[in-house]
């Protein structure tokens, strides 16, 4: 065992002395050491219930014959960090999380790892670490939040708080109703109730084979989730004894399965960044074209918020990800999983309990997948749009650009009623380097929707979007403005054409005008010149490559 390096032999007498100080017995020195990377925090709703899950994972590890060690990993709530400078730290935290898990596991020579996670950047950060470490590992996601309720209407965070701000500014709802929504939209612990980034990543983790069947949609605080946590603790010890390594599971076929599931359920565009980053750590070659190729060959079979009206709890009660696998089984690779079962076995055993929540591929919500990759003179290296969250009448957009150099400027203009139907809001210098940190633009997109402009406006950015975004919202535009991408030279009044079906995005400028503008353009000064974000901006790659650090 790896842990023998810190606990075996005469020369390790002082090491053992310190281990005994933690309460271990001499018998424990012959058992596998299992790390439990817990992202518990009182700051994040998706993570506040993890203390109890830690206990169940510990039980499982002990029952399996291992020795559990809990260690802490930080977590950021994107919703709380949204709309201000705090969001600059969200995506960069992913790299810190991966590095911290690696650091603790290697410093203490742990034999196996359980990652207890839930929200947006924590899950991909954990998976990056798992791929990098390549020690037997399993992921437990803490589960979705139940829906809120007000006047017998089910509520979710994005539609009933972020978008409600715009409805209030428009005069559609009163201050009293806004306050009631604020108090009732998020009634308990768990990741936000729709198919936003946290829940999408949980679904893809299960599809990839790195968490147990049913884990992704088992609700927070449920006994089912606790049983999954317990079983995960026991399973990881078995993985250690059999030396089942993550890279034997996280092969290209597993990533293609995850991408296909992403397209079928209509997941968050953030998953493009995260799957690219995880694949790089696993030594697997995927790119933007992989996403687009699979999207063209995958029917969109669920209709969850933000684009639809179903909630994660509906997906859970309909059969969860195993039921989705059953629908897709003809197109999924039958690869191994941490459960010991092959994907086709899990799919065969699944039951579909609701034919509308999880539709047949012969009766899909859309004939193609949830995410499209667009290209054009604005984005020669590509950009992404969540087509499943766009009104069918808005799939072709033609309009005039209004340019903003920050998210704050754009929100002020939207809520100040300076954006009209036919306008395309362009938010630039919010990319991985220019932001720095590639903030989510949920504030502006929700304001557009709340103001009733969703069907008549578009938004483009080198930043990214929350999984809660809906409408014609194009993100991850690469190259970003700070790197001299086309966004940097756009001006108010420039005409843009976005054709989602044709996967095209172009601004109507002649080559002569483009060259003239680039000749006059100068890279702006970095927005942040000290601390972690300044270092991050110097090291991070393009969004088209997953916004990862270079090796």
Cite the active site residues.
466
- For strands 148-150 and 153-155, give the pairing: antiparallel
Phi, psi for 412 (deg, rounded to 5): -60, -40
Distance CA 361, CA 365 (A): 9
Q: Which of 52, 74, 61 is nearest to 110 (CA)?
A: 61
Q: Is 157 helix (H, G, I), strand (E, B) or coil?
A: helix
DSSP 523: P
Distance CA 234, CA 49 (A): 21
CB-based contact 509:494 (threshold 8 Å): yes
Distance CA 264, CA 201 (A): 14
- Got the DSSP string for 72-106? E-----HHHHTTSGGGGGHHHHHHHHHHHHHHHHH
Provide the total of helices (H) and of strands (E) in the chain, helices listed first.
Answer: 22, 14
Distance CA 167, CA 529 (A): 38
- For strands 112-117 and 67-72, give the pairing: unpaired
Instruction: Specify whether the backbone of 151 is left (phi greater than 0), alpha (psi in -120 to 50) or beta.
Output: left
- For strands 504-507 and 495-499, give the pairing: antiparallel
Tokens of 141: 């996601």
CA distances from 127 to 91, 135, 338, 473 (A): 14, 12, 14, 28
N- to C-terminal Cα separation, the chain: 29
DSSP 12: G
Distance CA 294, CA 368 (A): 9
């Amino acid at each position: 065992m790896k842990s023998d390096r810190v606990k075996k032999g005469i020369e390790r007498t002082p090491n053992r002395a310190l281990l005994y100080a933690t309460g271990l017995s001499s018998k424990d020195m012959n058992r596998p050491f299992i790390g439990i990377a817990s992202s518990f925090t009182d700051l994040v709703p998706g993570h506040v219930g993890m203390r109890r899950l830690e206990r169940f994972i510990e039980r499982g590890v002990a029952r399996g014959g291992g020795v559990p060690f809990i260690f802490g990993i930080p977590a950021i709530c994107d919703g709380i960090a949204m709309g201000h400078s705090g969001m600059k730290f969200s995506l960069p935290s992913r790299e810190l999380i991966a590095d911290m898990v690696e650091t603790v596991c290697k410093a203490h020579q742990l034999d196996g790892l359980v990652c207890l996670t839930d929200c947006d950047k924590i899950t991909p950060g954990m998976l990056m670490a798992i791929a990098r470490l390549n020690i037997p590992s399993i992921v437990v996601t803490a589960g979705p939040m139940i829906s809120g309720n007000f006047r017998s209407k089910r509520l979710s965070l994005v539609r009933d708080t972020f978008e409600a701000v715009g409805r209030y500014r428009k005069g559609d709802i009163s201050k009293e109703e806004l306050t009631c929504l604020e108090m009732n939209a998020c009634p308990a612990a768990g990741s936000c109730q729709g198919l936003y980034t946290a829940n999408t990543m949980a679904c893809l983790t299960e599809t990839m084979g790195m968490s147990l069947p049913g884990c992704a949609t088992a609700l927070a605080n449920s006994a089912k989730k606790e049983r999954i946590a317990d079983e995960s603790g026991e399973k990881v010890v078995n993985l250690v004894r059999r030396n089942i390594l993550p890279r034997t599971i996280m092969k290209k076929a597993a990533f293609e399965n995850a991408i296909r599931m992403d397209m079928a359920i209509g997941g968050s565009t953030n998953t493009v960044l995260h799957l690219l980053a995880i694949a790089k750590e696993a030594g697997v070659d995927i790119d933007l074209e992989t996403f687009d190729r699979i999207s063209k060959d995958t029917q969109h079979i669920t209709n969850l918020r933000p684009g639809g009206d179903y909630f994660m709890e509906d997906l859970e009660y309909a059969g969860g990800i195993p039921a989705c696998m059953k629908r897709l089984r003809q197109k999924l690779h039958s690869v191994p999983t941490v459960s010991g079962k092959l994907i086709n076995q899990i799919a065969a055993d699944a039951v579909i309990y609701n034919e509308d929540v999880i539709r047949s591929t012969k009766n899909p919500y859309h004939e193609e997948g949830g995410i499209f990759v667009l290209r054009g003179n604005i984005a020669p290296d590509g950009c992404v749009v969540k087509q499943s969250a766009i009104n069918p009448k808005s799939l072709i957009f033609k309009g005039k650009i209004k340019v903003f150099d920050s998210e704050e400027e754009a929100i002020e203009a939207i809520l100040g009623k300076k954006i009209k139907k036919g306008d395309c809001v362009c938010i630039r210098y919010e990319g991985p380097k220019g932001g720095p940190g590639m903030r989510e633009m949920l504030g502006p997109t929700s304001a557009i929707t709340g103001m009733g402009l969703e069907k008549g406006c578009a938004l483009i950015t080198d930043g990214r979007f929350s999984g809660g975004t809906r409408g014609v919202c194009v993100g991850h535009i690469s190259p970003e403005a700070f790197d001299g991408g086309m966004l940097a030279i756009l001006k108010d009044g420039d005409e843009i054409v976005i054709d989602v079906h044709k996967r095209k995005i172009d601004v109507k400028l002649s080559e002569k005008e483009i060259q003239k503008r680039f000749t006059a353009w100068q890279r702006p000064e970095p927005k942040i010149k000290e601390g972690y974000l300044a270092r991050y901006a110097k090291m991070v790659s393009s969004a088209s490559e997953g916004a990862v650090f270079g090796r």
